[in-house]
Structure 1
Amino acid sequence: MFDHYLITRFNLRNPKWDVTKNNESLLTDEWMEDRMWLFENFCFPSVTAQTNQNFEWLLFFDITTNEIFRNRIENLVKDYNNIKTFFIDGMPAFYNEIQNYILNRSKGQSHLITSRIDNDDSISKHFIDEIQKQFSFQEYQAIDIINGYSLQVKPNFILGKKEHIFNPFISLIEKNDHPKTVWFSDHNMWKKETRIMQITNKRLWLSIIHEKNKVNEFDGYGNIKWEDINNEFIVSKEINEKIIQELMPFKTWWFLSLKNFLYVKMVLFSKVIKKKLGIYKLK
């Protein structure tokens, strides 16, 4: 029937990206150490805790990855049969490597589901299951889960709700006939696709905001308690306890919450209207 692949790029060399938002060099050992900390404490536990394990997680690393980090990665994933690691020659090789693996792996399936997650973000333990519930033998349909949460982790912990259309957690259901996969386009380019379904009834992702984000800044809103969602968003035990102890009280950032609420709703409304008016069009 279908195979489901969750796909993550990690430290692939990209000619277009060479510095963080703070103008610090990317892909140094210092950058990799920081990114591994995020991956081990937020992304990895959330994916391995999925209630539905009928998927493969494909992790793509650069061939220049330091041996120390290679060993750390292999030790981390060794007990999980549905996690596959690849060491490839930068971003130019990424898309072809995905297609080659899937072509050989999924010959007997009529359909594919591909989903994406960044290596510094988290998903609900029900994420994979909810995506697969949308499967109905579609020929080609993107699944965009608009609602999630945002968690700032550095320099301090702040947690809020967020809505983000055409976001980095998008999935694609398609026939297994020269499949494109979800990485055919950057996530924000899915705004041009007409065959897309928005899911708005559940919050299924947790965007992690930290000092070395290339683009994102914290724009969560609302008085959300970590204890109300930490049974669904699984992080490391150490980080779970740290968030409980150090999460910034809502009363200290309520004005930022209000500004963020207005900003998030304005951006969402603007993109929805542009989509309906046909401003976003496939070339």
Structure 2
Amino acid sequence: MSGKKVKIIVGIEFNSRANGISRTKDWIDYRMEIFNKFTLQSLKKQTNQDFLVLVRYAEKTTDLIKDALSHYNPLPNNIKFIENKKYESIIEKSIKGYEYLYLVRLDCDDVYHKTFINQLHEYKPRKSTRALINQKGYVYDAVNHRLGNWYYVSPPFYTLIYKTKDYLAGERIPIPRGHCTVIKNPHEVIHKTNYAVIVHGKNTLNAFNNHRIGKVITDKKEIQNILKNFI
């Protein structure tokens, strides 16, 4: 899509879907700490800052979100916490004047490689492609300080490609069961090791091993050298 105008938007759900514990002050404060320590650093470290981040949260927790944010430095202009109900309207306003929308998925406690946004700007997908999938990544156990390689056929690290006119007309790429069904759409795989899952709480053993392949890396210097490309 050389010469095409592409708007890259990273969509992050903070607590917009879940109920219960994710809407309590303790959960929000803890998750905000994780977001600032990992995800935010990854976004700020992107070598190409031509993108918009929309972190959406449940309207009922607006005061708690604002209070949690107040304990940290102001966010960069291209990273915004927004009420869930405003998500679609902000996207629609942001993509006007662009030919394509690249809608990137990221969880509020995970990270992308520092070159990932630039990779998207430079990537030239086939005309029929609806999704770009990152199958290879790392998993970092921040509790026990160990690192492993991850492989997932249809992981939660993907980018949906829309023509702006189609998105504004209401078209949505079907992913009925979330990230597991992204791969059922016309897609291309980006073969770089582009993400890191951050394991930061209880039940670290299961989460760490879910999709891990190969050896576990425990050497602190090696871990640091790898993670500096992400956070």
Residue 35 of structure 1 and its aligned partner are, at CA, apart by 1.1
Return the alpha-carbon distance in structure 1 between the equivalents of residues 25 and 145 of structure 2: 25
Larger Rg: 1
Question: Could you report, residue by residue, the CA deviation over 1:89-143 in whole angstroms, capped at 9, with x for unpaired residues?
Answer: xxxx4xxx43322222222111111101000111111111112222457354200
Q: Does 1:9 align with 2:13?
A: yes
SS across alignment from 1:143: strand
**CA gap 1:7/1:13 in 2 versus in 1, 3 angstroms:** closer
CA distance in structure 2 between the aligned counterparts of 1:41 and 1:102, rounded to whole angstroms? 26
Q: 1:31 to 1:75 in 2, by over 3 A?
A: closer
The CA distance in 2 between the partners of 1:86 and 1:26, in whole Å, is: 16
CA apart distance, 1:75 = 6.4
Aligned twin of 1:246 = none
Between 116-125 and 225-234, the greater mean CA deviation after superposition? 225-234
**Contact conserved, 2:130 with 2:161, CA < 8 A, in 1?**
yes
Report the Cα distance in structure 1 between the residues aligned to 2:107 and 2:174, rounded to whole angstroms: 12
Cα distance in 2 for residues equivalent to 1:101 and 1:137: 28
Aligned pairs, number: 215
Q: Unaligned 5+ residue runs, structure 1? A: 19-24, 235-283
The separation in 1 between residues aligned to 2:179 and 2:59, in whole angstroms, is 25
Alignment partner of 1:229 is 2:226: yes
- Correspondence for 2:180: 188
**1:198-220 per-position Cα deviation (integer Å, ceiling 9, x unaligned):** 122x211000123358xx71123
Normalising by the residue count of structure 1, what TM-score does the alignment of the two structures yield?
0.68
Q: What does residue 159 of structure 1 align with?
A: 147
The answer as to whether partners of 1:143 and 1:198 remain within 8 angstroms in 2 is yes
Structure 2: how far apart are the matches of 1:2 and 1:222?
Answer: 39
RMSD across aligned positions (CA): 2.6
- In the other structure, the counterpart of 2:103 is 114
Q: Is the 8 A contact 1:139 1:175 kept in 2?
A: no
- Distance in 1 between the 2:120 and 2:173 partners? 13
% identical equivalent positions: 27
CA drift at 1:228: 2.5
CA distance in 1, matches of 2:73, 2:10: 15
**Structure with more relative contact order (C-alpha pairs < 8 Å, separation 6 or more):** 2
How far off is 1:85 after superposition? 2.1
Residue from 117, 121, 126 that aligns with 1:132:
121
Q: Give me the whole-angstrom Cα distance separating, in 1, the residues matched to 2:72 and 2:127.
A: 35
Aligned partners of 1:142, 1:28: CA distance in 2, in Å?
A: 34
Which is strand-richer, 1 or 2? 2
Following superposition, the deviation at residue 181 of structure 1 comes to 6.0
SS at match of 1:99: helix
SS state at 2:30 partner? helix
Letter in 1 for 2:153: I
Amino acid at match of 2:148: G
TM-score when normalising by structure 2 = 0.81
Distance 2:173 2:223 in 1: 31
Contact 1:5–1:56, Cα closer than 8 Å, also in 2: yes
AA aligned to 2:151 is: E
Gaps spanning 5+ residues in structure 2: where?
none
